[in-house]
Structure 1
């Protein structure tokens, strides 16, 4: 069953349950309300009759005249004498009088609902001349009259409910269609992603949580597209980076095999072959490391380390290279700064960034640690604008770069450590790499 049908069925089922419960409650309450209202009306009618009797027949003291007056009112009532426990007059058939006497209803002054045979009556009792006599007028209304009103009201209510359901069905269809349509369109876009048709992805108009899902799908498609392209670029660059030293090694090896080179050239060729083999080894090792970092196959052992200790290790390892180039290597570290990371891995990332800065610097490199931020700056030529968006991708390097994997490795380690790495222009004139960890 489709989602729209399920939603419509659920909505209509819920509506029917609500209407059924509402109808039952109203049906149960309406009879009680009608009885209370009828009792009040009988009380008002009785009080009006008593007022008339007080004005016209009080001085006469003749109960027969009172009875004749009451019979002319076309009401169902009794005239009852409390002292004699006797019904003096009745406008109802004798069978009801006898039935009420047998049930002793006349003596039960607090009983408002009388029953005789299969008939029930709502009653109201009013004293006549309370200060002189114990005459009492009892007015009655058959409960069947009220039940007829109750049933008529209930039929009207059912009609209203039925019309409401008929109106709710198309409204439910429109609302669920508005809800499901974006999901249907989103499904088509996911099919495009499955077929890698990233250029044909279209945005879907939606609201609320569906809009958030749509945005997530679009972001996922964008990231997958970027990843696919980066993988293609990676394999292209990797084949190029590996092909160059292999061709060099092949050329010298064939020359030595065919005795093309003189003795001195053979020595030079062997040295070149060893250099290229080491270069290949470095590239392959860094590619393996980067693959492990991206796939989270490496074991990560975080521990709390002081920032000063970590930076001192970086300085100790990069100092000889800085001295060789005649660079000033400065640092500023907060004494109370610390990081909860894998020390060896973060050290590798910082070394990659610092060596990169030393390679491009003209006269100085500065390392600054403040709170949870590590900044590494140089006074070189900076990062070209066209490279900045791709600087942390694999095999992206500047003119003096080596393998093009150092910054990609640094990015992978920082992200695995829960941080974020950024590049910008430095106040020293060159590039500024910042690593920011969460507080």
Structure 2
């Protein structure tokens, strides 16, 4: 059975309505065409028989014409094998019946004047006549005037007989149509179930996704729109599952990263409050609190920035920006860190390369890249910019041990930290800013040792 309100039920009902309307139209057309065909077939047959009988009668002598029973043998011969049986009349020009096969119209009776005017005129008569209380389809043939007969042979078929045949054929047609409708209805139910089955699977899949129950694939083995929808939902499930895992990992990492500076701030502030640290130790404790507070603020700012990625365009202020100035600011900001680690920063950038960009955010990108390179470099970090058609390529390269295969796989994930990594947010932030500028960023290893990150940005000139 089909559930009420289900799509299978609606498909079945819509198909049933179409089938019923088609059946009704076919039945009406069959009824009209069959009725016309039977009457026309009767007329054609009667005309031919009237022509044949009239030809035979015309060859007889005038004394024989009108002799009782003369026409019965000829008429019976012509009616052999006919499905639709008929009657005959032989009428003279005054309407007197010379011979008849109709009991209600015996020989010697006179036909009504209106009927006589129709059937005794020269030529061929073809049409309907009413004799007594009976309606007939009739065909008449006027006999040869030269033989001085002036009589008409009239062959008739009862309309009631045609209607009986018509009704019998119509009943057979309706029975056949009903059986066909039942078969079509059965096929419709099967088809509706076949169509609705993948929809039910997709519905169940949607409910599972809504409940964050990922990992169950829906199998729709069809090459139509339903199959494509099933593939799209499976792909959506995989992406949502990845997003769900990433979200859980993000909150775990975020709570861990935020907890470390908070614990330091809490511990040192309580020590100062309780008098554990005094004098120089208290000042050192306050320095630690200030440093960890700044670190915590930077992490919160970075998280807020990443959360706004793809948000309102007013976050960015695009204007003409000199690439060389951007790179110089980034390098200058990392000179102290580089000196502490005995790393030399080398900048090679062509002048007057203008970008349509948010200068402050690009500085932030290259600060993150240079700082990351300094932490992993052995002696030197190179920052090199080169012009290509329609774009500028900036490479930040160190001479350290390079990226591991695991680093390259997870480098752009939030809170991922390799050896000597920072907060794990610098590279994701850099990627977000570069992509917002319509550029790309890629990481790889340099032959001979070292890591390199290349940023490609569109240039104005």
**Which range, TM-score by smaller chain?**
0.7 to 0.9
How far does the alpha carbon of each residue in 1:310-345 deviate from its partner, in whole angstroms, 9 at most, with x for none? 5x3554333222365222235998x9x98xxxx65x
Query: How far apart are the structure 2 equivalents of 1:329 and 1:79?
Result: 123
Q: 1:348 to 1:402 in 2, by over 3 A?
A: farther
Shift of 1:196: 3.1
Q: 1:130 to 1:235 in 2, by over 3 A?
A: farther
Query: How far apart are the structure 2 equivalents of 1:50 and 1:148?
Result: 29
Q: Give the alignment partner of residue 277 of structure 1, picking from 283, 293, 305.
A: 293
Aligned residue in 1 for 2:65: 64
Aligned residue in 1 for 2:138: 123
Shift of 1:105: 3.6
How far does the alpha carbon of each residue in 1:85-110 deviate from its partner, in whole angstroms, 9 at most, with x for none? 64664524439973573595437977
Query: How far apart are the structure 2 equivalents of 1:289 and 1:363?
Result: 28
Aligned residue in 1 for 2:29: 25
Q: Give the alignment partner of residue 430 of structure 1, picking from 424, 449, 452.
A: 452
Q: Give the alignment partner of residue 383 of structure 2, picking from 364, 385, 399.
A: 364
Query: How far apart are the structure 2 equivalents of 1:85 and 1:355?
Result: 126
Query: How far apart are the structure 2 equivalents of 1:124 and 1:412?
Result: 96
The TM-score with structure 1 as length reference comes to 0.75
The TM-score with structure 2 as length reference comes to 0.72
Aligned residue in 1 for 2:82: none
- SS in structure 1 opposite 2:218? coil
Aligned residue in 2 for 1:161: 177
Q: 1:153 to 1:278 in 2, by over 3 A?
A: same
Structural mapping, 1:24-423, within 5 Å: 24-53=28-57, 56-57=59-60, 60=61, 64=65, 69-72=70-73, 73-74=75-76, 75-79=86-90, 84=93, 86=95, 89=98, 91=100, 92=102, 93-94=104-105, 98=111, 101=114, 104-106=117-119, 112-116=127-131, 119-129=134-144, 136-199=152-215, 201-207=216-222, 208-254=224-270, 256-257=272-273, 258=275, 260=277, 263=280, 267-293=283-309, 296=311, 299-300=312-313, 312-313=321-322, 315-322=324-331, 324=335, 325-329=345-349, 344=358, 350-360=362-372, 362-366=381-385, 377-380=395-398, 384-399=404-419, 401-409=421-429, 423=442
Shift of 1:156: 0.9
Contact 1:349/1:409 (CA < 8 Å) preserved in 2?
no
Q: 1:198 to 1:256 in 2, by over 3 A?
A: same
- SS in structure 2 opposite 1:203? coil
Query: How far apart are the structure 1 equivalents of 2:317 and 2:55?
Result: 98
Q: Number of matched residues?
A: 412
Query: How far apart are the structure 1 equivalents of 2:69 and 2:392?
Result: 111
- SS in structure 1 opposite 2:135? strand
Contact 2:403/2:445 (CA < 8 Å) preserved in 1?
no
Larger radius of gyration: 2
Shift of 1:369: 7.3
Q: 1:391 to 1:249 in 2, by over 3 A?
A: same
Q: Kindly report the root-mean-square deviation, in angstroms, between the aligned alpha carbons of the 2 structures.
A: 4.3
- SS in structure 2 opposite 1:431? strand
Query: How far apart are the structure 2 equivalents of 1:62 and 1:355?
Result: 134
Shift of 1:168: 2.7
How far does the alpha carbon of each residue in 1:169-207 deviate from its partner, in whole angstroms, 9 at most, with x for none? 4323322222222333334434433443324x1432342
Query: How far apart are the structure 2 equivalents of 1:8 and 1:45?
Result: 53
Query: How far apart are the structure 2 equivalents of 1:367 and 1:427?
Result: 17
- SS in structure 2 opposite 1:98? coil
Query: How far apart are the structure 2 equivalents of 1:154 and 1:420?
Result: 77
Shift of 1:352: 4.8
Query: How far apart are the structure 2 equivalents of 1:327 and 1:117?
Result: 123
Contact 1:47/1:126 (CA < 8 Å) preserved in 2?
yes
Q: 1:136 to 1:107 in 2, by over 3 A?
A: closer
Structural mapping, 1:5-24, within 5 Å: 5-24=9-28
- SS in structure 1 opposite 2:349? strand
5+ unaligned residues in a row in structure 2: which ranges? 77-85, 336-344, 374-380
